[in-house]
Structure 1
Amino acid sequence: MSGFRPEAADLRAADLHASVSDPVLDTMNFLNEVTHRYPEAISFAPGRPYDGFFETADIFSHLRRYLDHLEAGGASPAQVRSALFQYGPTSGQIRELIVDSLRKDEGIHVPPESVVVTVGCQEAMFLAVRALLTGPEDVLLVSSPCYVGITGVAALLDVELSPVEEGEKGFRCSDLEAAILRERARGRRPRAFYVTPDHSNPSGSTIPLETRRELLLLAARHDILILEDSPYRLVSPGTQLPTLKSLDTERRVVHLGSLSKTLFPGARVGYAVADQQVVDSKGRSGLLAAELTKIKSMVTVNTSSISQAVVAGMLLSADGRASELNRETAAYYGDAMSATLAGLAEAFPEDDRAALGVRWNEPSGGFFLALTVPFPADNAALERSAEEYGVIWTPMSYFYPHGGGERVIRLSVSYLTHKEIKDGIDKLARFIRDEAARP
C-alpha cells in the first residue's frame, strides 16, 4: 500500500473516516456473506421476525384503514393525497397513534409532541446520541454485550464508549456506578447509559423490577440520562415488566422504540420518546424531541409517509393495542425459545455439559440466547460450522465494544420453524463436540 499512487478519483482507505474501517461495520456484512455462501445451512444468525405471519394483501387493507381514519377525522381529498404522496412533517404524521399505543400497551403517558417518528430504531439511536454527546470529554455508557447498532452509531459519530459488562446474573447497578465514577476520575463526563432492559440483543437477559427502580435512582443521583431500547417486549410471551420509561418520574429516560419487530419489519418505522425539557441561553424551553427533529431534518428529512400509513392502519385495526396484534407471534416465539432450550438440554445432558464446558442461559422471551462453548467462537470456527456441519450462528465477540465473549455464541430462534430448530441444534451439537476435540 505504501507504493500506491492515486489515479483519477482513487482514494486511500486512510483518507476516509475511521469508522468505515471499524470491524463492527463489517459484522453484518460477514454474516450475510456466510449465509449467502451456504444457503442450505440452517441459520441461527438473523434476528428478524418469522415470515409466516405476513400476508401481502394485508398491506392494502392497512393502508385503506388509515385513509378512512383521515377522512373520518375531516381530512379533505387533497389532504389525504398529501398525507401519502408528500414528504410530511419531519417529526412524523402518526405521533398521536404511537402515543395512544404507548399509553395502552406500556403505560407510558407523554404528549404527541414528545415523539419523533424515525426510520427504524437505528435512526432514533443516531439522533439521540448525536444530540446528547457534544464533545471529546463526553462518554456513552453501554451495557455490554450490546447491540452492534449502538456501537456503530458511536463509531460514526466519534463517540467514546464505556462498556458496563453484565455479570453471570445480568446487569448490576453497582457496576454502572463504578463505571460512572471511573470515567469522572479520568476527567470525562458520562452523559447517558444505553441499555435493553427486556430480553436483550444479544444475551437475552432481562433486568429485574427492583434493579430497574434502582437504575432510575442512580441516574438521578449521578445526573445521567438512560437510552432505553426495548423492541422485544411485545413479541415475548406472558406479562412483561414495566418499561423504564413508564417508571420514570423525572424524565431521565429517552425511550427508543421500534415497530419493526412488532408490526412490519419492511416499513422501517421507529420512534424516540424525548420529553426532556431543553432550556436555551435566553431561558426559553422546549422539548428534546424538537432538537432531535432538527437533526433528523438534515439526515433523512422525514420518515416514509407510506410506511407510516401502513403501520398506522395496523394500529387502528387493534384500537392502538400492538400487544393484541402480537398475541399469536409472541406465543410462537415463546414456543421457539422453549424448543431451542429443550433441544440443547437433549443434545447436552447435564453430565456432559460440565465435561465439555458448555452452558447457556434461559431467556423468558425475545429472540436470542447465549451459549458458552469450549473453544474460540471466531469467524474461522463459524465458517467451519457452516461449511462442514450446515449450521450458522453469531460470534458473541461481535457485541463487546472493547473485547470479550470469545467463547460464547449467540443463537437467534425467531426466524426458524420448529423442525429447523431441532435439525439445527443436532448439527450444532455435532459441531461443538467435534470442535472441542480438535487439537
Structure 2
Amino acid sequence: MVRLSPSRLHDSLRSPALGSIGFLNEVMTRFPDAVSFAPGAPHPGLVADLDVQRCIDRFLDHLVHEEGHTPKQARLRLYEYGPSRGLINGLVGEALRRDLQIDAPSNALVITVGAQEGMLLALRALFRPSAGDVLAVANPCFVGITGAAGLLDIPVVGIDETETGIDLDGLTAACHRARADGRRIRACYVASDFSNPGGNRMSLECRRQLLELAEREDLLVLEDNTYGFTTAPGHELPSLKALDKDRRVIHIGTFAKVCFPGARVGYVVADQPVDGRGRLLADELAALKTVVTVNTSPLGQAVIGGMLLEHGGSLAELSRAKSELYQRNLNQLVDALDRTLTGRVPPGVEWTRPAGGFFVRMRLPVPADVELLEISAAEHGVLWTPMAQFYLDGTGDCQLRLSCSYLDPDQIETGVRRLANFLDKEIGQ
C-alpha cells in the first residue's frame, strides 16, 4: 500500500489556518449547546422563506422577455455548462452602476464561484513568483486570500491595519524594501469596509491616498467588498473601485451575505486593459476559469439573478433587510459587552466598537489560544475565534474575534453573560 509522506505534499496543507478552521468546526460539533460567536456565516432566518423556484422562474422570464430567448432556449441555458464569464453579468453590472457607482460593463465582469474563486483567479493571473512578485495584505487578514496565495506559492507581506485603513507609510516602505531586494509589490489586498477579521473601515482620505500610492508605486489593489452592505444608511463611502480613475482596482464581491452562501456566486470587476486590441483582465480570468471550475453553476446564477430582479435590479434593495438585521445584532453585541463587562472584567481586557460588519475584536492579557477556547466551550458554554491565524507576524496571540451574524438578540445576551463569567474566572485568576 502506498504511503504518502506529508513532507512531499504541498506546503499549504500545513498552514496553521487550515488546522484552526478544522478545530473550530470540531469544537462546535462537540459543544452544540454552547453559544457560538465563532462563525461569520449569514443569519439562517434570512432564507427561511426563500422560494428558489420563484427566483428561477423570474430569471427565466427575464431571459425570454428581455434577452429574446425562446422558453426552450432559456431553460437549456440553466441545464448546460454555460459561458465561463457568466450568465448574469448584465444584471450585476447594472446593479453595481446603480448602487455603488462602479462602471462595470459585462465584458469587464466575471461571475465566479463565490469571492474565493475570484481571489484565486486574480492572483493566478497577476502573479509570477519567479519574477519576484509579492502580495501585500492588511494585517490581520482574511485567511481566504492568504490561503489562496499559499496554494499558488505567492510570497505575502503583511501591512498593519489601523483604525482608518491600511498603514500607507508601511505599504510604501514595503514597496521600497521589495525593490531593494530585486522584487516588487505587485498588488495589495484590502477590505475597505469592515474587514474580516479586523472590523476596521477605511476612511475616505485613506482610500484616496491608497489609490495615489498605487499609481506612484505601480501596483494594483484587490478590493474585497463583502461587508460594505452593512453600512448604516447615510454613512456610505464610495468604494475604491468607484474612486478608481486609473483602473488600478480589481473589485471582488459576493452574494453569499446579501443573498445566501449556498448559491456559491460571486463576481470580479477586472477592467484593466491587457493589450492594445481591447482585451481586458476579465478575459484572462474567464480563460483561467475554464480550467478551474469551467463555469459558475447556471442554476445558482439564476437564483441570484431572480432575487436581483425581484428587488428592482438593486443591490441596495436586495440587501436592505439583511443590513438592518446585522446592524441590530452588532449594536446588540457591543451594547451587551459594554453593559456586562465594563467594571467587571480584569485589567487588559478590551474590545472594539465597529460601526458595521460582523465582527468585534477583543484583546486579553493572556494568549487566546485553542486551549483557552476549549475551556471556554467546555466549562462556560461560549465559543469564539482565536485571532492568531489571521496575523502574519504572530502579534495576534492575545486577541479573539466575536461574530454576531449568526445569532439572535437573546443568544447574544446569553453569550455575553457566559463570556463575562469565563473572563472573570479564567482570566481574572
Aligned to 1:121: 115
After TM superposition, the structure 1 stretch with the greater mean CA deviation from structure 2, 137-146 or 176-185, is: 176-185
Q: Is the 8 A contact 2:344 2:424 kept in 1?
A: no
DSSP 3-state at the match of 1:140: strand
**How many Å separate the matches in 2 of 1:149 and 1:52?**
25
Unaligned 5+ segments in structure 1 are 1-7
> Alpha-carbon deviation of 1:208?
0.4
> CA 1:168/1:319 → structure 2, altered by over 3 Å: closer, same or farther?
closer
Aligned to 1:3: none
Aligned to 2:147: 152
How many residue pairs match? The answer is 426
Kindly provide the amino acid, as one letter, of the partner of residue 112 in structure 2. T
Residue 230 (1) aligns with residue 262 (2): no
**How many Å separate the matches in 1 of 2:364 and 2:402?**
12
- Map 1:391-406; keep pairs closer than 5 Å: 391-406=382-397
Aligned to 2:330: 337
Kindly provide the amino acid, as one letter, of the partner of residue 79 in structure 1. Q
**How many Å separate the matches in 1 of 2:39 and 2:53?**
27
Residue 140 (1) aligns with residue 135 (2): yes
> Alpha-carbon deviation of 1:112?
0.7
After TM superposition, the structure 1 stretch with the greater mean CA deviation from structure 2, 425-434 or 119-128, is: 425-434
Aligned to 2:54: 61
Aligned to 2:237: 241
Residue 432 (1) aligns with residue 426 (2): no
Kindly provide the amino acid, as one letter, of the partner of residue 132 in structure 1. L
> Alpha-carbon deviation of 1:12?
1.0
Aligned to 2:158: 163
After TM superposition, the structure 1 stretch with the greater mean CA deviation from structure 2, 34-43 or 55-64, is: 55-64
Kindly provide the amino acid, as one letter, of the partner of residue 123 in structure 1. E
DSSP 3-state at the match of 1:226: strand
Kindly provide the amino acid, as one letter, of the partner of residue 393 in structure 2. H
From 54, 73, 77, the counterpart of 2:71: 77
**How many Å separate the matches in 2 of 1:88 and 1:111?**
19
Q: Is the 8 A contact 2:163 2:200 kept in 1?
A: no
Structure 1 runs, 4 residues or longer, greater than 6 Å off: none
> Alpha-carbon deviation of 1:288?
0.2
Q: Is the 8 A contact 1:375 1:435 kept in 2?
A: no
Aligned to 2:252: 256
> Alpha-carbon deviation of 1:181?
1.3
Q: Is the 8 A contact 1:45 1:411 kept in 2?
A: yes
Aligned to 1:91: 85
Deviations 1:202-246 (A, max 9, x none): 011000001100100000000000000011111332232110000
Residue 172 (1) aligns with residue 163 (2): no
Residue 102 (1) aligns with residue 96 (2): yes
Q: Is the 8 A contact 1:377 1:409 kept in 2?
A: yes
Deviations 1:13-50 (A, max 9, x none): 11111111222222221111111111110000100111
Q: Is the 8 A contact 2:189 2:224 kept in 1?
A: yes
From 2, 5, 11, the counterpart of 1:9: 2
Kindly provide the amino acid, as one letter, of the partner of residue 295 in structure 1. L
Kindly provide the amino acid, as one letter, of the partner of residue 249 in structure 2. V
TM-score (norm 1): 0.94
Residue 199 (1) aligns with residue 194 (2): yes
From 288, 300, 308, the counterpart of 2:293: 300
**How many Å separate the matches in 2 of 1:414 and 1:237?**
15
Q: Is the 8 A contact 1:119 1:269 kept in 2?
A: yes
After TM superposition, the structure 1 stretch with the greater mean CA deviation from structure 2, 162-171 or 206-215, is: 162-171
Q: Is the 8 A contact 1:260 1:269 kept in 2?
A: yes
Aligned to 1:112: 106
Aligned to 1:415: 406
**How many Å separate the matches in 2 of 1:81 and 1:324?**
27
**How many Å separate the matches in 1 of 2:60 and 2:318?**
20
Kindly provide the amino acid, as one letter, of the partner of residue 76 in structure 1. T
Kindly provide the amino acid, as one letter, of the partner of residue 195 in structure 1. V
**How many Å separate the matches in 1 of 2:19 and 2:110?**
29
Kindly provide the amino acid, as one letter, of the partner of residue 391 in structure 2. Y
- Taking only the aligned residue pairs, the percentage that are identical comes to 46
> CA 1:56/1:347 → structure 2, altered by over 3 Å: closer, same or farther?
closer
After TM superposition, the structure 1 stretch with the greater mean CA deviation from structure 2, 120-129 or 60-69, is: 60-69
> CA 1:83/1:423 → structure 2, altered by over 3 Å: closer, same or farther?
same
After TM superposition, the structure 1 stretch with the greater mean CA deviation from structure 2, 23-32 or 149-158, is: 23-32
Kindly provide the amino acid, as one letter, of the partner of residue 217 in structure 2. H
Q: Is the 8 A contact 2:139 2:390 kept in 1?
A: yes
CA RMSD of aligned residues (A): 1.4
**How many Å separate the matches in 2 of 1:318 and 1:347?**
40
Unaligned 5+ segments in structure 2 are none
Q: Is the 8 A contact 1:24 1:151 kept in 2?
A: no
Deviations 1:257-301 (A, max 9, x none): 10111112110100110000002xxx5451000001111110000
DSSP 3-state at the match of 2:111: strand
**How many Å separate the matches in 1 of 2:90 and 2:312?**
13
TM-score (norm 2): 0.97
> Alpha-carbon deviation of 1:110?
2.2
**How many Å separate the matches in 1 of 2:146 and 2:94?**
31
**How many Å separate the matches in 1 of 2:203 and 2:50?**
41
Q: Is the 8 A contact 1:151 1:401 kept in 2?
A: no
> Alpha-carbon deviation of 1:99?
0.1
DSSP 3-state at the match of 2:189: strand
